[in-house]
Structure 1
Amino acid sequence: MSRLNQHSLSNGWSFKDGQDESGNSWMSVPAIPSVVHQDLLANKKLKDPFIGFNELNSKWVNEKSWTYRNVFQKPEVAPGSIIVLAFDGLDTFAKVKLDGNIILESNNMFLAHRVDVTKALEADGEHILEIDFDCAMLRAQELRDQDPKHKWASFNGDPARMSVRKAQYHWGWDWGPTLMTAGIWRDVRLEVYTTRIADLWMEVQLTGDHQEATVSAFVEVDGAAGSHKAKCTLSLRGREVASEQSTVGEGGTAKVTFKIKNPSLWWPHGYGDPTLYELSASLADGHKELHHASKKIGIRTAEVVQQPDKHGKSFFFRINGVDIFCGGSCWIPADSILPNITPERYQKWAELMVTGRQVMTRVWGGGIYEDDSFYSACDELGVMVWQDFMFACGNYPTWPELLESIRREAVYNVSRLRHHPSIVIYVGNNEDYQVQEQNGLTYNFEDKNPENWLKTDFPARYIYEKLLPEVVKELAPDTFYHPGSPWGDGKITSDPTVGDLHQWNVWHGKQEKYQVYESHIIDFHNKADGHERRIATYLIENVRMTTDLETYIYITQVVQAEAMMYGYRSWRRQWGDDRRCGGSLLWQMNDCWPGISWAIVDYYLRPKPAFYAVARVLKPLAIGVQREHYDWSVTHAESPKTSKYSLWIASSLLKEVSGKVELRFIYVQTGLEVREQRVWNDVRIQANGTTDIIVDDIIDYTVYSEPHVLAARLWVDNEVAARDVDWPQPFKYLDLSERGLNIQRDFESDDLQSLRVSTRAPVKCLVFEERDGIKVSDSAMDIMPGDEQFATIMGLKGDSLKYKYLGQ
């Protein structure tokens, strides 16, 4: 019996145009994993498609087939061992040949493959591995043409994309380029062994009082005889907690059960420590270990609470018995060229989520089932994951071969991901039910016969309401499954009383045409329909326009930050209203290329002002003050006579605390107070909910006619715990010159500047410039007279401090 040995096949590859038969056109591949765009770039056959208009000059790559080749030596093999060729990901139509013989054909990017090549490698010496990658774009179009009766309704990209199990955003989206990659996009290796641990997973039962956990560990063994034993160990912070041995049964699986007293639980960040145990398993032949595997796991419960309430039916998350307001963002792939994303880069993204106080991220269904390192980072940092299956914005076909491929895809990925405590929900698709509604496709919620669904013009219902929930129930029975996003018990997807919904009103809808400033490359890197008109509309409604590009960019960021803040502030307030709003996941956290989009952090991991605005609203204690909306466009800029306003505190703390609340009324022009401030001492702040201080009080503008801000502060333990400012809207009617802003350096070193910020008159959205290597502790700040604020800037290293504020 021999120990499992892995032989990486990351090096020694070459590639060529699949149609080139000359034999002398092979080019080198720096390393695997890779895709053809990376390898063409390395061989100077392609210009960077992320720069300028180079995406257009890369189109030829999308329309070709490619061949990859590796000549390798047969590894040393002990008697009785088998040799497996393992692919963790092939993108997408791949025909694998070993010494000229076809050993694998794949058409699903989201699957891993294991091929027994023991007999094929009987001969010692060199062997030739060759992979033909057919053109996914052309194959998709051929498949679409073969099913003309299907209604190929979709948003974004070529509708033919729905016939192929490839990352859908590769066909282009309203925030990303069209880059049809092909290649060995995840690891490839040879494995030599007599027996191995094929899978290791667990099921956890936690008592209601959290005093005891039952951890059932399962070890699936490949190639083992029934006499083998598997030893499982559970450890916490390097200390063994429990250990037990079990015989591998005839089905190739061993099971052990641990009883853990007073377990340390996994919590979302901000609610407790995201404690991880290590579950390990080993197979041995006597005293010789044959294979060892380990995974980090968490002990926790996760529920989606759906109960009738005064608003309809709730939809919120409860972790370890605690209701969680899920403030966070949606996640798209962090690169159009996926092998570019390193584990270190995933770690930095997850750290930004925590810095931004985002407790949940949503892996969007038009991308990929992410790399293990993404979920591990979320596990370690306490970021909950909403995991879509990979279907987005379309009416997907369901011919039998495709359904079988989807089933295998779901089984593989749920099996791969089910041990991650961060994953708290699986969701069938992104907006496919909206496509059904908008195209009038058949959906009879009362018809519960899945075979009937396949006969309608919306056959994909079968995928979301039968195939996928069956897989989740079998492989991850403790994880909630939701058919789609948005979806709510068969009701219209925009129904706010049930399920989840996608709020698009602030961007989509009727827009009057208006010509925005000419900037061709910038426009090219914004893939959203009508973006010029929409951006211009929101800018003109709210701020004074400028012809300076740098300032123009800044004010777009101001408007985004304001829009996000307004939404989050309101939704978080509704958390306390019988959980009317269970959370909000903004679109979107990140970009897949350097583009103009809704992302709150750019491709280079530099936060935008909206990132900081949302982080403030998601503080454990957040104060909110807001006047009722007054539509200037309807009244033709006539000033209101009166205005209602409200003041409240939102808390995610799990205990009640007391604090002092202060509300000031400050004249925008001078910084003087137009009326006496209001103060509330010893306010008892409700735990994990909302505490109203003022509800619909009245400002009489015939008395207080000067444009003034409402500046609120919350004090806890003699420190300012939270701030909020409500400004007269829109900003374009305000004179924001001559602010008297003062930025002093309290401390300065080569790598750090500590700043003290004060002002004579109210300052809107003070933004410190984000540059590579520079870290800003806070930005997009509103500064009020008499209220100094502080920020630290790391990484300037002698460079000048740059900042902007509205009206500067």
Structure 2
Amino acid sequence: MARSRHDLSHGWQFREYDGGSSNENPWLPVQKVPTQVHVDLLADKKIPDPFLDLNELAVRSLPEKQWTYRIQFAKPTDLSSEAPIHTDLVFEGLDTFATVVLNGAEILKSDNMFISHRVDVTSLLRDTNELEIHFDSAMLRGRDLVKEHSHEHTFYVRQTEVSRVPVRKAQYHWGWDWGPILITAGPWKPIYLQQYVSKVDDVWSECEVSEDLRTCSGRIIAKASQASGHSIRLSLSLAGSVIFEKECTINSKGIAETPFLITNPKLWYPFTHGTQTRYELKASLGSYDTLSKMIGFRRAELIQQEDEFGKSFFFRINGADVFCGGSCWIPADSFLSHIPEQRYRDWVSLVHEGNQNMIRVWGGGIYEHDAFFDACDELGVMVWQDFAFACASYPTYKSYLDSVEEEARQNIRRLRSHPSLIIWAGSNEDYQVQERYGLEYNYEDKDPQSWLKTTFPARYTYEYLLPKIVSEEDRFAIYHPTSPWGDGKITSDPTVGDKHQWDIWHGAMNRYQEAFRLSARFISEFGMEAYPHLETIRSMITVDKQRYPGSMMMDFRNKAIDHERRVATYVNENFTVKYDISSYTHLTQIVQAEAMHFAYKTWRREWGKRKCGGVLVWQLNDCWPTMSWAVVDYYLLKKPAYYAIKNALRPLDIGISKKYHDWTSGHVDPTESFKDTKFDLWIVSDRPQSVQVDVAVRFISIHTGQDVKQQVKLDSVTVHPNSTTEILKDYDLIENVTETQNNVQAFDIAEFNPYVIHATLTIGNQLIASDTYWPQPLKYLNFDNRNVTFTSTGDNQVVISASRPTKGFVFEETRGVKLSDNGFDIIPGQEKVVEVSGFARVPSVFRAGSVRVLYFISLS
């Protein structure tokens, strides 16, 4: 008999549990399991949609309630077999404090959302069975745990309330500065019956690619149940051809293993550096069971070496140094059971399309779905996975650590075969909590047991327990104690480890033009807020009179502390402000895009000397429709910032910069930026070989659109491989400049004729990359009369041109429409071609400068 599975997905009911023995609350239908209580209440029209207007407030009382789910099901028909048939009831995930009763007998208690359970129910099944799952309030249980353990631990927390800290549940459910308070409960992952005589529990490889990449050697290991003494076949195949196969005997512990060696292995690379070859790993247990998975071989190293800047932090994959440009990832929905597998693939496809080769799974969410990692494997996107701890001082009492250990082992085992998973990190910003509250931390003390006696006992979890588990479960995995972290130094130290650079937006609120001052060895978080596109705003706020900046509903929607001050500061510092919803949306989006442009360009430039090893924006996505730091909104609509990142991460990219001149502090001269005639020009490359390119630099009047100086042409420039090539340094447009005290002239605003510097990089006749430097701040410039024109080629292309330099041209994106670029600049003499798909007739809105036009572009 082969293993069989019987899904318990339909036929469920649920109701609120009132705590009494004769609960009379009515049973309500459940559409499908997996589910969570908010999803079911919404489907049954018992609550308003929490994603609309102020409706989140209407469901704030739900986390205090208890719920019961039940189903009746028939016993699966036993298939004929000479050997005993085992029946397990499998719960892949219960959210969170759950008591499970089968036919009146308690079979399971769970208090950890992140672990799965398997219960042998062979002797408990009847012809007709009733299964009930009772879910306690995670919030109330969390508060009880805080009280119970307050004598031994002080529960410090950033972001909402302390009850989340002792609960092993997705922490963002308690609300974050980008998401609502929606504390869920329910069977959030599949539940099913599994029947078997013998079965393969897992198969994995423990191997290493040699330094010269010529061999891959190690062990293939399988674990089986009810199969001691049986023979099992372990094999590796490539493109359908078996390249290794071995018959092994399963020992008394259910383990079978064999050494293996592959010569000249085909390797897995991030998509920016090679192909994503994967092998099929299979374990066959005769006619009883077969388990296979797709795996990849790669040599991954985290390079941390002393250098002139401190200590490096970058990744080397298969011998190639890799600049990691990408995003941080939060859960894709407040209701995790609500996310279909295709949506994960769509998200990862956006990452790949945007030239982002790394995504960081943030510690306040979950250990992501297999579909997420499968897509990363297939598309060549590297994953940085935090363990599920974020922004708190976590406890270390025994039952808590036991649960954490089971959670870690289960999820490492589930994810360890994915070649995309490059690094595990112990937590998110928990050492910043240690710093904020002055908790005891002596880096020189290397005794883990002593750490448990300090006011920061979680060090034991991050620096002892988790690395121990990682080394035991996935011996060649990279582990990093937390993010940010730098060998025990203060987390803001830019010379070592990774850094969360929040002096843009938070902290000192540096201007994004100051990104050159804010570099670090690896920037694993930074960001800038922006509104989503108007379609999303209209969908989340249904009251027309509330659709304006600063309305009650708009303010409620934005969970970031002091958001109105920070958004307004960055917008007002850089733009002439209009406060209607369309114009203000546009300005916030351009601020965000400009911040991404300055940051990615500046920090990627430092890759040449490996000063900065990577940049990950906070954040890629949203868990509900809102305004936030996301560069793509909840509905997968890309903000202009997404395209700014995409362009800055091109395999070959060109950059221009000028010296930063302050324009608002004290008695500074606001004209300095416009009088400065010096600039830098560079090219950064991911390519493994040098390449010859042509470079041209134009200087174009913003007022007239005419070239004001002779262009600079540099032909056959050699670009260094996987590095930065500095082309011009402090290049001065005015030769032999002399300054005398007797030749001082006042700045004549009437004669003020600012210009942009526009550089192009071409190979042959093909434009590969370009960059435009605009005088700063943009609000000092006049953007009237840009004379923007459109034409359609009839083959889903729109061609845009302008007679004068145009900043921040934005199509208003809508669901279903896909653009090749957005939020771009238009340079006179050049035609911008945008590929458009999704509609035969695209409703188009563009905004540029102070201009906003609505009309239709026919693509038919």
In structure 2, what residue type is equivalent to 1:689? S
Maintained 8 Å contact 1:628/1:643 = no
For 1:675, what is the secondary structure of its paired residue?
coil
1:32-71 aligned at under 5 Å gives the runs 32-71=33-72
Listed one character per residue, the Cα deviations across residues 244-270 of structure 1 (whole Å, up to 9, x for unaligned) are 211112221111333323221101012
How far the C-alpha of 1:796 sits from its partner, in A, is 2.7
Counterpart selection for 2:386 from 381, 385, 388: 388
Counterpart selection for 1:585 from 616, 623, 638: 616
Counterpart selection for 1:679 from 699, 702, 713: 713
Q: TM-score, normalised by structure 2?
A: 0.90
CA distance in 2, matches of 1:637, 1:799: 46
Counterpart selection for 1:783 from 813, 826, 831: 826
How many residue pairs get matched?
792
The range that moved more, 338-347 or 629-638, is 629-638
Cross-structure match for 2:112: 108
Maintained 8 Å contact 1:215/1:260 = no
1:663 matched to 2:666? no
Cross-structure match for 2:26: 25
Listed one character per residue, the Cα deviations across residues 368-397 of structure 1 (whole Å, up to 9, x for unaligned) are 001111101000000000000000001011
Counterpart selection for 1:157 from 160, 183, 193: 160
How far the C-alpha of 1:705 sits from its partner, in A, is 5.7
1:524 matched to 2:556? yes
1:642 matched to 2:676? yes
Cross-structure match for 2:777: 730
For 2:621, what is the secondary structure of its paired residue?
coil
36 and 616 in structure 1: CA distance in 2 versus 1, 3 angstrom threshold: same
For 1:37, what is the secondary structure of its paired residue?
helix
Listed one character per residue, the Cα deviations across residues 288-320 of structure 1 (whole Å, up to 9, x for unaligned) are x10111111001111000111000110100000
1:566 matched to 2:598? yes
How far the C-alpha of 1:699 sits from its partner, in A, is 5.2
Maintained 8 Å contact 2:358/2:382 = yes
CA distance in 1, matches of 2:452, 2:150: 16
Counterpart selection for 1:201 from 201, 204, 208: 204
How far the C-alpha of 1:234 sits from its partner, in A, is 1.6
Q: Structure 1 stretches (4+) deviating beyond 6 angstroms? A: 701-704
How far the C-alpha of 1:215 sits from its partner, in A, is 5.2
Cross-structure match for 1:802: 845
In structure 2, what residue type is equivalent to 1:564? M
1:367-446 aligned at under 5 Å gives the runs 367-446=365-444
Maintained 8 Å contact 1:674/1:706 = no
652 and 249 in structure 1: CA distance in 2 versus 1, 3 angstrom threshold: same
In structure 2, what residue type is equivalent to 1:169? Y
CA distance in 2, matches of 1:672, 1:541: 28
Cross-structure match for 1:251: 253
CA distance in 2, matches of 1:743, 1:155: 49
The range that moved more, 138-147 or 172-181, is 138-147
CA distance in 1, matches of 2:668, 2:615: 33
Maintained 8 Å contact 1:610/1:780 = yes
CA distance in 2, matches of 1:235, 1:263: 12
Listed one character per residue, the Cα deviations across residues 746-779 of structure 1 (whole Å, up to 9, x for unaligned) are 224xxxx212222211011111221111000111
511 and 471 in structure 1: CA distance in 2 versus 1, 3 angstrom threshold: closer
How far the C-alpha of 1:29 sits from its partner, in A, is 0.8
For 1:633, what is the secondary structure of its paired residue?
coil
How far the C-alpha of 1:801 sits from its partner, in A, is 2.6
In structure 2, what residue type is equivalent to 1:255? E
1:283 matched to 2:285? yes
How far the C-alpha of 1:148 sits from its partner, in A, is 2.3
The range that moved more, 81-90 or 143-152, is 143-152
Cross-structure match for 1:179: 182
1:119-518 aligned at under 5 Å gives the runs 119-121=123-125, 124-149=126-151, 150-214=153-217, 216-226=219-229, 228-284=230-286, 289-509=287-507, 517-518=549-550
How far the C-alpha of 1:600 sits from its partner, in A, is 0.3
For 1:532, what is the secondary structure of its paired residue?
helix
CA distance in 1, matches of 2:464, 2:843: 59
For 2:694, what is the secondary structure of its paired residue?
strand
For 2:843, what is the secondary structure of its paired residue?
coil
Percent identical pairs in the alignment equals: 48
In structure 2, what residue type is equivalent to 1:717? G
Cross-structure match for 1:538: 570
In structure 1, what residue type is equivalent to 2:585? I
Cross-structure match for 1:619: 650
For 1:34, what is the secondary structure of its paired residue?
coil
For 2:710, what is the secondary structure of its paired residue?
strand
Maintained 8 Å contact 2:817/2:842 = no
In structure 2, what residue type is equivalent to 1:407? E
How far the C-alpha of 1:271 sits from its partner, in A, is 1.0
1:77-96 aligned at under 5 Å gives the runs 77=78, 78=81, 80-96=84-100
Maintained 8 Å contact 1:361/1:585 = yes
How far the C-alpha of 1:179 sits from its partner, in A, is 0.5
Q: TM-score, normalised by structure 1?
A: 0.96
Unaligned runs of 5+ in 1: none
CA distance in 2, matches of 1:511, 1:693: 32
238 and 804 in structure 1: CA distance in 2 versus 1, 3 angstrom threshold: farther
The range that moved more, 495-504 or 155-164, is 155-164
The range that moved more, 669-678 or 318-327, is 669-678
CA distance in 2, matches of 1:308, 1:511: 31
How far the C-alpha of 1:278 sits from its partner, in A, is 1.1
CA distance in 2, matches of 1:470, 1:380: 30
CA distance in 1, matches of 2:371, 2:28: 30
Q: CA RMSD in A?
A: 1.6
Maintained 8 Å contact 2:549/2:580 = no
The range that moved more, 261-270 or 28-37, is 261-270
CA distance in 2, matches of 1:183, 1:262: 48
In structure 2, what residue type is equivalent to 1:160? S
How far the C-alpha of 1:802 sits from its partner, in A, is 2.0
The range that moved more, 183-192 or 241-250, is 241-250
Listed one character per residue, the Cα deviations across residues 317-351 of structure 1 (whole Å, up to 9, x for unaligned) are 00000000000000000000001111100000000
CA distance in 2, matches of 1:591, 1:671: 39
For 2:175, what is the secondary structure of its paired residue?
strand
Cross-structure match for 2:740: none
CA distance in 1, matches of 2:110, 2:284: 32
CA distance in 2, matches of 1:638, 1:621: 34
CA distance in 2, matches of 1:793, 1:234: 43
Listed one character per residue, the Cα deviations across residues 694-743 of structure 1 (whole Å, up to 9, x for unaligned) are 11234569899621111011111321110000101111111001112222
Cross-structure match for 1:710: 757
In structure 2, what residue type is equivalent to 1:423? L
